[in-house]
Amino acid sequence: MEAQVSVVPPATVEQSPVNARSCIRMKDSPAPQGARDERPVAASGAAAEHPKRSDDATAGGAKLRETETTIGSRPPAVRRVSGAKRRIRLPGARNEREIGKNDPMHPDTWLISQGRPTELGDPLNFQPTMASNFRLPGERYYNRTEGTETSGALEQLIGGLEGGRSLAFSTGMAAVATVFGALPVGSTLAIPEDPYHATNGLAVEGEEQGRWTVLRLDLADTDAWISAAGTADLLWVETPANPLMTVADLPAICAAPRKQGCIVAVDGTFATPLVQKPLALGADISMHSATKFIGGHSDLMAGVLTVTDDTIYDDLWNRRVRNGTTIGGLEAFLAIRGARTLALRMERSMANAGILAERLEGHSQIARVRYPGLASHDTHDHAAKFMDGFGAMMSLEVEGTGERASAVVEHTQIINNATSLGGIESTWERRALIPGQETMPPTLIRFSVGCENVDDLWADITAALDATG
Protein backbone atom coordinates (compact mmCIF):
# COMPACT_ATOMS: atom_id res chain seq x y z
CA MET A 1 0.00 0.00 0.00
CA GLU A 2 1.08 3.59 -0.46
CA ALA A 3 0.08 6.13 2.14
CA GLN A 4 -1.63 9.21 0.82
CA VAL A 5 -0.21 12.52 1.95
CA SER A 6 -0.48 16.10 0.77
CA VAL A 7 1.01 19.22 2.19
CA VAL A 8 -0.72 22.34 3.36
CA PRO A 9 0.79 25.77 3.97
CA PRO A 10 2.23 26.47 7.42
CA ALA A 11 -0.22 27.42 10.11
CA THR A 12 -0.17 27.89 13.86
CA VAL A 13 -1.75 24.95 15.63
CA GLU A 14 -4.58 25.97 17.93
CA GLN A 15 -4.70 24.53 21.43
CA SER A 16 -7.82 22.55 22.30
CA PRO A 17 -8.86 21.71 25.86
CA VAL A 18 -8.05 18.02 25.44
CA ASN A 19 -4.60 18.84 24.12
CA ALA A 20 -3.64 21.58 26.57
CA ARG A 21 -0.04 20.95 27.53
CA SER A 22 -0.16 21.10 31.32
CA CYS A 23 3.35 19.70 31.59
CA ILE A 24 4.87 22.37 29.29
CA ARG A 25 4.75 26.06 30.14
CA MET A 26 2.38 27.99 27.90
CA LYS A 27 3.92 30.78 25.85
CA ASP A 28 1.89 33.57 27.44
CA SER A 29 2.03 32.32 31.01
CA PRO A 30 4.63 33.64 33.45
CA ALA A 31 7.75 31.56 33.95
CA PRO A 32 7.94 29.58 37.19
CA GLN A 33 9.86 31.30 39.95
CA GLY A 34 13.58 30.86 39.36
CA ALA A 35 13.10 29.77 35.74
CA ARG A 36 15.21 31.35 33.04
CA ASP A 37 14.41 31.77 29.36
CA GLU A 38 17.49 30.57 27.49
CA ARG A 39 16.80 32.41 24.24
CA PRO A 40 19.19 35.21 23.27
CA VAL A 41 18.53 38.62 24.79
CA ALA A 42 17.90 41.48 22.39
CA ALA A 43 19.68 44.81 22.66
CA SER A 44 16.71 46.25 24.52
CA GLY A 45 17.09 43.59 27.20
CA ALA A 46 13.87 41.76 26.30
CA ALA A 47 13.94 38.08 25.41
CA ALA A 48 14.39 37.90 21.64
CA GLU A 49 11.76 36.06 19.64
CA HIS A 50 12.83 33.32 17.27
CA PRO A 51 13.44 35.18 13.98
CA LYS A 52 10.79 34.36 11.40
CA ARG A 53 11.56 33.76 7.74
CA SER A 54 10.37 36.75 5.74
CA ASP A 55 11.24 38.42 2.48
CA ASP A 56 11.74 41.63 4.48
CA ALA A 57 13.55 40.09 7.43
CA THR A 58 16.87 41.62 8.35
CA ALA A 59 19.56 40.64 10.81
CA GLY A 60 22.43 42.95 11.57
CA GLY A 61 21.55 44.97 8.48
CA ALA A 62 21.79 41.96 6.18
CA LYS A 63 18.74 40.57 4.43
CA LEU A 64 17.97 36.96 5.36
CA ARG A 65 17.73 34.55 2.49
CA GLU A 66 14.14 33.71 1.75
CA THR A 67 14.67 29.96 1.70
CA GLU A 68 17.22 29.72 4.51
CA THR A 69 16.03 27.99 7.63
CA THR A 70 16.52 29.92 10.87
CA ILE A 71 15.25 29.35 14.37
CA GLY A 72 11.50 29.71 14.18
CA SER A 73 11.20 29.19 10.42
CA ARG A 74 8.25 27.01 9.59
CA PRO A 75 8.35 24.00 7.25
CA PRO A 76 5.06 22.99 5.65
CA ALA A 77 2.55 21.03 7.68
CA VAL A 78 1.65 17.60 6.30
CA ARG A 79 -1.69 15.85 6.44
CA ARG A 80 -2.95 12.58 5.07
CA VAL A 81 -5.57 12.85 2.36
CA SER A 82 -7.34 9.82 0.96
CA GLY A 83 -6.95 9.30 -2.76
CA ALA A 84 -4.01 11.70 -3.17
CA LYS A 85 -0.37 10.95 -3.81
CA ARG A 86 2.16 11.71 -1.09
CA ARG A 87 3.16 15.33 -1.73
CA ILE A 88 4.99 18.22 -0.10
CA ARG A 89 4.61 21.87 -1.06
CA LEU A 90 7.41 24.37 -1.08
CA PRO A 91 7.57 26.48 2.09
CA GLY A 92 8.62 29.84 0.66
CA ALA A 93 7.32 32.41 -1.80
CA ARG A 94 10.46 32.18 -3.91
CA ASN A 95 12.50 29.23 -5.05
CA GLU A 96 15.63 29.46 -7.17
CA ARG A 97 14.64 26.35 -9.12
CA GLU A 98 11.70 28.15 -10.71
CA ILE A 99 9.11 25.87 -9.16
CA GLY A 100 6.10 27.88 -8.04
CA LYS A 101 5.07 27.74 -4.41
CA ASN A 102 1.80 26.02 -5.27
CA ASP A 103 3.39 23.21 -7.25
CA PRO A 104 3.46 19.85 -5.45
CA MET A 105 6.81 18.28 -4.64
CA HIS A 106 7.30 14.58 -3.97
CA PRO A 107 9.22 13.75 -0.76
CA ASP A 108 11.94 12.10 -2.84
CA THR A 109 12.49 15.42 -4.60
CA TRP A 110 12.22 17.38 -1.36
CA LEU A 111 15.08 15.39 0.17
CA ILE A 112 17.36 16.18 -2.75
CA SER A 113 16.42 19.77 -3.55
CA GLN A 114 15.71 21.47 -0.22
CA GLY A 115 17.97 22.65 2.59
CA ARG A 116 20.43 24.23 0.15
CA PRO A 117 21.91 27.73 -0.28
CA THR A 118 20.12 29.76 -2.94
CA GLU A 119 22.19 32.91 -3.57
CA LEU A 120 24.03 33.25 -6.87
CA GLY A 121 27.59 32.07 -6.44
CA ASP A 122 26.78 29.95 -3.39
CA PRO A 123 27.93 26.32 -3.31
CA LEU A 124 25.15 23.79 -3.83
CA ASN A 125 25.51 22.49 -0.28
CA PHE A 126 25.83 24.10 3.12
CA GLN A 127 29.31 23.31 4.34
CA PRO A 128 29.94 22.08 7.89
CA THR A 129 30.10 25.20 10.04
CA MET A 130 32.85 24.62 12.58
CA ALA A 131 32.13 27.50 14.93
CA SER A 132 31.09 28.04 18.52
CA ASN A 133 30.30 31.76 18.27
CA PHE A 134 29.56 34.47 15.69
CA ARG A 135 30.24 38.18 15.20
CA LEU A 136 27.53 40.46 16.61
CA PRO A 137 25.06 41.83 15.86
CA GLY A 138 23.63 39.04 13.71
CA GLU A 139 21.01 36.35 13.48
CA ARG A 140 23.22 33.93 15.44
CA TYR A 141 25.45 34.55 18.38
CA TYR A 142 26.25 31.12 19.86
CA ASN A 143 26.11 27.63 18.34
CA ARG A 144 24.50 26.00 21.39
CA THR A 145 21.49 28.30 21.12
CA GLU A 146 20.79 29.08 17.46
CA GLY A 147 22.82 26.34 15.82
CA THR A 148 24.35 26.99 12.39
CA GLU A 149 23.26 27.26 8.77
CA THR A 150 24.10 23.57 8.45
CA SER A 151 21.96 22.42 11.36
CA GLY A 152 19.17 24.74 10.20
CA ALA A 153 19.23 23.10 6.78
CA LEU A 154 18.93 19.65 8.37
CA GLU A 155 15.98 20.81 10.47
CA GLN A 156 14.26 22.24 7.39
CA LEU A 157 14.80 19.00 5.50
CA ILE A 158 13.36 16.71 8.17
CA GLY A 159 10.65 19.15 9.28
CA GLY A 160 9.32 19.31 5.73
CA LEU A 161 9.13 15.52 5.52
CA GLU A 162 7.41 15.19 8.88
CA GLY A 163 5.00 18.11 8.45
CA GLY A 164 6.24 20.18 11.39
CA ARG A 165 9.21 22.02 12.90
CA SER A 166 12.32 20.04 13.70
CA LEU A 167 15.10 20.35 16.27
CA ALA A 168 18.36 18.46 15.71
CA PHE A 169 20.24 16.92 18.64
CA SER A 170 23.68 15.46 19.23
CA THR A 171 22.29 11.91 19.53
CA GLY A 172 18.99 10.10 19.40
CA MET A 173 19.10 9.52 23.15
CA ALA A 174 19.70 13.24 23.72
CA ALA A 175 16.38 13.81 21.93
CA VAL A 176 14.63 11.13 24.03
CA ALA A 177 16.05 12.54 27.27
CA THR A 178 14.84 16.02 26.32
CA VAL A 179 11.26 14.78 25.99
CA PHE A 180 11.41 12.79 29.24
CA GLY A 181 12.97 15.78 30.98
CA ALA A 182 9.84 17.84 30.29
CA LEU A 183 7.79 15.64 32.63
CA PRO A 184 7.06 17.21 36.01
CA VAL A 185 7.62 15.24 39.20
CA GLY A 186 4.74 12.88 39.90
CA SER A 187 3.93 12.18 36.26
CA THR A 188 2.89 8.88 34.75
CA LEU A 189 4.95 7.64 31.81
CA ALA A 190 3.55 4.90 29.55
CA ILE A 191 6.14 2.93 27.58
CA PRO A 192 6.21 -0.43 25.75
CA GLU A 193 7.08 -3.54 27.75
CA ASP A 194 10.37 -3.95 25.85
CA PRO A 195 11.45 -0.58 24.51
CA TYR A 196 14.91 0.33 23.23
CA HIS A 197 17.21 -0.54 26.12
CA ALA A 198 18.60 2.99 26.58
CA THR A 199 15.08 4.44 26.62
CA ASN A 200 14.16 1.82 29.20
CA GLY A 201 17.18 2.84 31.26
CA LEU A 202 15.97 6.45 31.35
CA ALA A 203 12.51 5.34 32.41
CA VAL A 204 13.87 3.11 35.18
CA GLU A 205 16.24 5.78 36.47
CA GLY A 206 13.47 8.38 36.69
CA GLU A 207 11.18 5.95 38.48
CA GLU A 208 13.88 5.04 41.00
CA GLN A 209 14.44 8.76 41.68
CA GLY A 210 10.72 9.24 42.33
CA ARG A 211 10.26 11.52 39.33
CA TRP A 212 7.51 9.50 37.65
CA THR A 213 5.59 6.25 37.67
CA VAL A 214 6.18 3.91 34.72
CA LEU A 215 3.28 2.10 33.10
CA ARG A 216 4.49 -0.75 30.87
CA LEU A 217 2.13 -1.81 28.11
CA ASP A 218 2.04 -4.50 25.44
CA LEU A 219 2.57 -2.51 22.24
CA ALA A 220 0.03 -4.69 20.42
CA ASP A 221 -2.66 -4.11 23.08
CA THR A 222 -4.35 -1.08 21.56
CA ASP A 223 -7.07 -0.96 24.21
CA ALA A 224 -4.43 -0.67 26.94
CA TRP A 225 -2.81 2.31 25.21
CA ILE A 226 -6.17 3.98 24.63
CA SER A 227 -6.97 3.55 28.31
CA ALA A 228 -3.54 4.91 29.32
CA ALA A 229 -4.15 8.07 27.29
CA GLY A 230 -6.76 8.99 29.88
CA THR A 231 -4.36 8.74 32.83
CA ALA A 232 -0.76 9.16 31.61
CA ASP A 233 1.17 12.38 31.06
CA LEU A 234 3.36 10.94 28.30
CA LEU A 235 2.68 8.03 25.94
CA TRP A 236 6.04 6.96 24.50
CA VAL A 237 5.18 4.74 21.52
CA GLU A 238 8.11 2.98 19.84
CA THR A 239 6.89 1.57 16.55
CA PRO A 240 8.02 -0.63 14.94
CA ALA A 241 9.52 -1.91 18.18
CA ASN A 242 13.23 -2.54 18.61
CA PRO A 243 13.96 -5.44 18.20
CA LEU A 244 10.69 -7.41 18.39
CA MET A 245 9.19 -5.52 15.41
CA THR A 246 5.72 -5.09 16.95
CA VAL A 247 3.74 -2.33 15.23
CA ALA A 248 1.36 -0.20 17.29
CA ASP A 249 -2.04 0.86 16.00
CA LEU A 250 -0.94 4.49 15.79
CA PRO A 251 -4.14 5.89 14.27
CA ALA A 252 -6.21 4.49 17.14
CA ILE A 253 -3.76 5.49 19.87
CA CYS A 254 -3.29 9.03 18.55
CA ALA A 255 -7.05 9.52 18.24
CA ALA A 256 -7.80 8.33 21.78
CA PRO A 257 -9.36 10.81 24.26
CA ARG A 258 -6.56 12.10 26.47
CA LYS A 259 -6.01 13.40 29.94
CA GLN A 260 -5.44 17.14 29.79
CA GLY A 261 -1.78 17.75 29.05
CA CYS A 262 -1.06 14.21 27.84
CA ILE A 263 1.65 14.12 25.18
CA VAL A 264 1.90 11.37 22.56
CA ALA A 265 5.47 10.90 21.32
CA VAL A 266 6.46 8.37 18.68
CA ASP A 267 9.91 6.88 18.15
CA GLY A 268 9.72 6.00 14.45
CA THR A 269 13.43 5.33 13.92
CA PHE A 270 12.83 1.89 12.38
CA ALA A 271 10.28 3.30 9.92
CA THR A 272 11.91 6.63 8.87
CA PRO A 273 9.81 9.72 7.99
CA LEU A 274 9.14 8.21 4.56
CA VAL A 275 7.31 5.16 5.89
CA GLN A 276 5.15 6.65 8.64
CA LYS A 277 3.97 10.15 9.58
CA PRO A 278 3.01 10.22 13.29
CA LEU A 279 2.23 13.95 13.36
CA ALA A 280 -0.31 13.55 10.57
CA LEU A 281 -2.04 10.89 12.68
CA GLY A 282 -2.30 13.18 15.70
CA ALA A 283 0.93 12.57 17.64
CA ASP A 284 2.53 15.56 19.34
CA ILE A 285 6.19 14.61 18.89
CA SER A 286 7.95 12.51 16.27
CA MET A 287 11.43 11.29 17.19
CA HIS A 288 14.13 9.74 15.03
CA SER A 289 17.64 8.62 15.76
CA ALA A 290 19.29 10.18 12.70
CA THR A 291 22.30 7.99 13.49
CA LYS A 292 20.37 5.25 11.74
CA PHE A 293 18.52 5.47 8.42
CA ILE A 294 18.55 9.26 8.00
CA GLY A 295 22.35 9.39 8.22
CA GLY A 296 22.53 6.04 6.48
CA HIS A 297 26.32 5.52 6.43
CA SER A 298 27.23 4.50 10.01
CA ASP A 299 29.46 7.56 10.40
CA LEU A 300 27.57 9.98 12.66
CA MET A 301 25.40 10.31 15.74
CA ALA A 302 22.35 12.57 15.76
CA GLY A 303 18.71 12.78 16.78
CA VAL A 304 15.70 14.78 15.60
CA LEU A 305 12.44 15.84 17.26
CA THR A 306 9.62 17.24 15.13
CA VAL A 307 6.46 18.92 16.44
CA THR A 308 3.59 21.05 15.20
CA ASP A 309 2.76 22.85 18.44
CA ASP A 310 4.62 26.11 19.07
CA THR A 311 4.57 25.75 22.86
CA ILE A 312 6.08 22.27 22.74
CA TYR A 313 8.68 23.49 20.24
CA ASP A 314 9.72 26.40 22.47
CA ASP A 315 9.98 24.16 25.53
CA LEU A 316 12.10 21.57 23.73
CA TRP A 317 14.25 24.35 22.22
CA ASN A 318 14.99 25.78 25.66
CA ARG A 319 15.72 22.34 27.09
CA ARG A 320 18.14 21.62 24.27
CA VAL A 321 19.95 24.88 25.08
CA ARG A 322 20.14 24.12 28.78
CA ASN A 323 21.22 20.50 28.26
CA GLY A 324 23.86 21.45 25.69
CA THR A 325 22.70 18.82 23.19
CA THR A 326 22.74 20.84 19.95
CA ILE A 327 24.06 18.84 16.99
CA GLY A 328 27.64 19.51 15.86
CA GLY A 329 28.49 21.10 12.52
CA LEU A 330 30.13 18.05 10.96
CA GLU A 331 27.36 15.72 12.14
CA ALA A 332 24.69 18.01 10.68
CA PHE A 333 26.55 18.08 7.36
CA LEU A 334 26.85 14.28 7.28
CA ALA A 335 23.18 13.84 8.23
CA ILE A 336 22.10 16.10 5.36
CA ARG A 337 24.33 14.25 2.93
CA GLY A 338 22.87 10.95 4.09
CA ALA A 339 19.28 12.21 3.96
CA ARG A 340 19.71 13.16 0.29
CA THR A 341 19.70 9.48 -0.61
CA LEU A 342 17.22 8.27 2.03
CA ALA A 343 14.45 7.56 -0.49
CA LEU A 344 16.80 5.68 -2.81
CA ARG A 345 18.27 3.63 0.01
CA MET A 346 14.92 2.82 1.57
CA GLU A 347 13.46 1.70 -1.75
CA ARG A 348 16.28 -0.82 -2.23
CA SER A 349 16.54 -1.87 1.41
CA MET A 350 12.79 -2.43 1.78
CA ALA A 351 12.66 -4.45 -1.43
CA ASN A 352 15.54 -6.60 -0.17
CA ALA A 353 13.91 -6.99 3.24
CA GLY A 354 10.63 -8.18 1.75
CA ILE A 355 12.33 -10.81 -0.38
CA LEU A 356 14.61 -12.04 2.39
CA ALA A 357 11.78 -12.20 4.94
CA GLU A 358 9.77 -14.49 2.65
CA ARG A 359 12.78 -16.71 1.94
CA LEU A 360 13.77 -16.90 5.59
CA GLU A 361 10.23 -17.80 6.65
CA GLY A 362 10.43 -20.86 4.42
CA HIS A 363 13.91 -21.97 5.56
CA SER A 364 14.07 -25.10 7.70
CA GLN A 365 16.75 -23.62 10.01
CA ILE A 366 14.70 -20.52 10.90
CA ALA A 367 12.22 -20.86 13.76
CA ARG A 368 10.56 -17.45 13.38
CA VAL A 369 10.76 -14.30 11.27
CA ARG A 370 9.50 -11.00 12.67
CA TYR A 371 8.83 -8.62 9.77
CA PRO A 372 5.69 -6.43 9.55
CA GLY A 373 5.36 -7.09 5.82
CA LEU A 374 4.66 -10.79 6.32
CA ALA A 375 1.01 -11.76 6.58
CA SER A 376 2.02 -14.08 9.42
CA HIS A 377 3.32 -11.18 11.52
CA ASP A 378 1.24 -10.59 14.66
CA THR A 379 0.67 -6.89 13.92
CA HIS A 380 0.76 -6.97 10.12
CA ASP A 381 -2.76 -5.52 10.01
CA HIS A 382 -1.65 -2.50 12.06
CA ALA A 383 1.27 -1.85 9.70
CA ALA A 384 -0.85 -2.23 6.57
CA LYS A 385 -3.29 0.32 7.93
CA PHE A 386 -1.01 3.34 7.96
CA MET A 387 2.59 2.57 6.96
CA ASP A 388 3.88 3.34 3.46
CA GLY A 389 5.88 0.13 3.14
CA PHE A 390 7.15 -2.09 5.94
CA GLY A 391 10.68 -0.84 6.52
CA ALA A 392 14.07 -2.51 6.22
CA MET A 393 14.34 -3.98 9.73
CA MET A 394 13.49 -7.50 10.81
CA SER A 395 14.36 -10.00 13.51
CA LEU A 396 14.75 -13.75 13.04
CA GLU A 397 15.18 -16.64 15.43
CA VAL A 398 17.36 -19.54 14.34
CA GLU A 399 16.77 -23.15 15.31
CA GLY A 400 19.04 -24.32 18.09
CA THR A 401 20.81 -22.47 20.88
CA GLY A 402 22.02 -18.97 21.51
CA GLU A 403 25.55 -20.16 20.82
CA ARG A 404 24.45 -21.24 17.38
CA ALA A 405 22.89 -17.82 16.74
CA SER A 406 26.22 -16.22 17.71
CA ALA A 407 28.04 -18.52 15.29
CA VAL A 408 25.65 -17.56 12.47
CA VAL A 409 26.22 -13.81 12.78
CA GLU A 410 29.97 -14.34 13.06
CA HIS A 411 30.15 -16.50 9.94
CA THR A 412 28.80 -14.13 7.28
CA GLN A 413 31.18 -12.42 4.87
CA ILE A 414 28.89 -9.67 3.49
CA ILE A 415 26.55 -8.99 6.39
CA ASN A 416 28.45 -7.27 9.19
CA ASN A 417 28.18 -8.55 12.75
CA ALA A 418 27.70 -5.11 14.32
CA THR A 419 25.27 -3.20 16.48
CA SER A 420 23.27 -0.17 15.38
CA LEU A 421 21.35 -0.17 12.12
CA GLY A 422 20.07 1.76 9.13
CA GLY A 423 23.29 1.94 7.13
CA ILE A 424 23.67 1.31 3.43
CA GLU A 425 25.46 -1.89 4.43
CA SER A 426 23.65 -4.83 6.03
CA THR A 427 24.30 -5.53 9.71
CA TRP A 428 23.00 -8.07 12.19
CA GLU A 429 23.68 -9.10 15.75
CA ARG A 430 22.54 -11.53 18.40
CA ARG A 431 20.52 -9.09 20.46
CA ALA A 432 20.49 -10.96 23.79
CA LEU A 433 24.24 -10.31 24.10
CA ILE A 434 23.66 -6.53 24.31
CA PRO A 435 23.63 -5.19 27.90
CA GLY A 436 20.04 -4.43 28.84
CA GLN A 437 18.64 -6.86 26.24
CA GLU A 438 19.18 -10.09 28.14
CA THR A 439 15.41 -10.72 28.20
CA MET A 440 15.31 -11.12 24.43
CA PRO A 441 14.86 -14.64 22.97
CA PRO A 442 18.33 -16.23 23.10
CA THR A 443 18.43 -17.08 19.37
CA LEU A 444 17.00 -13.77 18.16
CA ILE A 445 19.09 -11.95 15.54
CA ARG A 446 18.23 -8.33 14.70
CA PHE A 447 18.81 -7.74 11.00
CA SER A 448 19.20 -4.32 9.34
CA VAL A 449 18.88 -5.01 5.63
CA GLY A 450 21.10 -2.91 3.41
CA CYS A 451 21.36 -2.12 -0.29
CA GLU A 452 23.54 -5.01 -1.48
CA ASN A 453 22.37 -7.40 -4.18
CA VAL A 454 19.63 -9.49 -2.60
CA ASP A 455 20.90 -12.78 -4.00
CA ASP A 456 24.37 -12.11 -2.58
CA LEU A 457 22.77 -11.46 0.81
CA TRP A 458 20.76 -14.66 0.59
CA ALA A 459 23.82 -16.69 -0.36
CA ASP A 460 25.67 -15.19 2.62
CA ILE A 461 22.83 -16.10 4.99
CA THR A 462 22.34 -19.65 3.75
CA ALA A 463 26.10 -20.32 3.85
CA ALA A 464 26.17 -19.23 7.51
CA LEU A 465 23.16 -21.40 8.35
CA ASP A 466 24.62 -24.42 6.55
CA ALA A 467 28.01 -24.00 8.23
CA THR A 468 26.52 -23.84 11.72
CA GLY A 469 23.68 -26.35 11.39
Residue 92, pLDDT > 80, answer no
Residue 8, pLDDT > 50, answer no
pLDDT of residue 103: 56
Choose the CATH number for 1-340 among 3.30.70.20, 1.20.1050.140, 3.30.110.40, 3.40.640.10.
3.40.640.10
Give start-end residues of each CATH 3.40.640.10 domain in the chain.
1-340
Quote the mean pLDDT of the chain.
83
pLDDT in tens, 235-272: 999 999 999 999 999 999 999 999 999 999 999 999 99
pLDDT in tens, 340-371: 999 999 999 999 999 999 999 999 999 999 99
pLDDT in tens, 288-347: 999 999 999 999 999 999 999 999 999 999 999 999 999 999 999 999 999 999 999 999
CATH 3.90.1150.10, applies to 343-468: yes
Instruction: Output 423 or 138, whichever has higher pLDDT.
Output: 423
Query: Using 50, 70 and 90 to split pLDDT, how confident is the model at 71?
Result: very low
* HEC assignment per residue over the chain: CCCCEEEECCCCCCCCHHHCCCCCCCCCCCCCCCCCCCCCECCCCCECCCCCCCCCCEECCEECCCCCCCCCCCCCEEEECCCCCCCEECCCCCCCCCCCCCCEECHHHHHHHCCCCCCCCCCCCCCCCCCCECCCCCCCCEHHHHCCHHHHHHHHHHHHHHCCEEEEECCHHHHHHHHHCCCCCCEEEEEECCCCHHHHHHHHHHHHCCCEEEEEECCCCHHHHHHHCCCCCEEEEECCCCCCCCCCCHHHHHCCCCCCCCEEEEECCCCCCCCCCHHHHCCCEEEEECCCCCCCCCCCCCEEEEECCHHHHHHHHHHHHHHCCECCHHHHHHHHHHHHCHHHHHHHHHHHHHHHHHHHHCCCCEEEEECCCCCCCCCHHHHHHHCCCCCCEEEEEECCCHHHHHHHHHHCCCCEECCCCCCCCCEEEEHHHCCCCCCCCCCEEEEECCCCCHHHHHHHHHHHHHHHC
Give start-end residues of each CATH 3.90.1150.10 domain in the chain.
343-468
pLDDT of residue 460: 98
